[in-house]
A and B are shown apart, each in its own frame.
Chain A
Amino acid sequence: QQQVKQSPQSLIVQKGGISIINCAYENTAFDYFPWYQQFPGKGPALLIAIRPDVSEKKEGRFTISFNKSAKQFSLHIMDSQPGDSATYFCAASLSGAGSYQLTFGKGTKLSVIP
């Protein structure tokens, strides 16, 4: 049972454009939503994360938008650069005592072309 659905599977954006990746979750108990970035042959790295009591979080060119009622969240990459070409994973988790698992989406391969 996939608890976090991610789309699109792949995305091609021109340099300077906006990249948008969407995720939807099912479990309303999730209370932390991170995004991970993975370059080929490397392990993923935490990029940005948001809690559901916040509708938007921005860090540099990366913004998470969160819609709690729709159970959806998205990653926006402004002014996309070739160096942003990577696979992006959304995820969801439970925080606090007893939390043990991070549920990942299947990933979006982003290619930013010059």
Chain B
Amino acid sequence: DGGITQSPKYLFRKEGQNVTLSCEQNLNHDAMYWYRQDPGQGLRLIYYSQIVNDFQKGDIAEGYSVSREKKESFPLTVTSAQKNPTAFYLCASSIRDSSYEQYFGPGTRLTVT
């Protein structure tokens, strides 16, 4: 089945630790995205990548980092610099230059205490 996988579904970390969220897609999409979802805030774009080895900051990139070494993979690292890291994180992909039709993964709920 084609789709996007995110792992793990739930993740718990202590404050001050970096954590990396996995995102893999087998849709052969060039573009990939990371969003953060908080109650009542909608989806806010963290980073996006239109092509391998290239990525751009979204609206709330501070405290996050990404890499895009392979077309299929777009991992997100939540660093200790992120002040409020507890959230639901969503990865998505799309055909390049067609951002309106994004396919989302099931999400990772990160809790930092």
Contacts and interface: CB of A to CB of B under 8 A. Distances in A.
Interface stretch (A14-22, A39-47, A56-64, A78-86): A39-47
A93 B58 CA distance: 14
A99 B40 contact: no
B43 A44 contact: yes
**A-side interface mostly:** loop
Nearest to B50: A100
A101 B42 contact: no
A49 B42 contact: no
Between B33, B97, B100, the greatest number of chain A beta carbons within 10 A of the residue's beta carbon is seen for B100
Interface residues of B, number: 26
B41 interface: yes
A33 B42 CA distance: 16
B90 interface: yes
Interface string B68-104: 0000000000000000000000101000011111111
17 contacts: A32-B100, A34-B100, A42-B107, A43-B4, A43-B105, A44-B104, A46-B103, A89-B43, A93-B100, A94-B99, A99-B100, A100-B99, A101-B58, A102-B45, A104-B43, A106-B40, A106-B41
In the complex, the 9 A-B pairs of residues with the closest C-beta atoms, listed nearest first: A43-B104, A106-B42, A32-B100, A93-B100, A104-B43, A104-B42, A93-B99, A99-B99, A34-B100
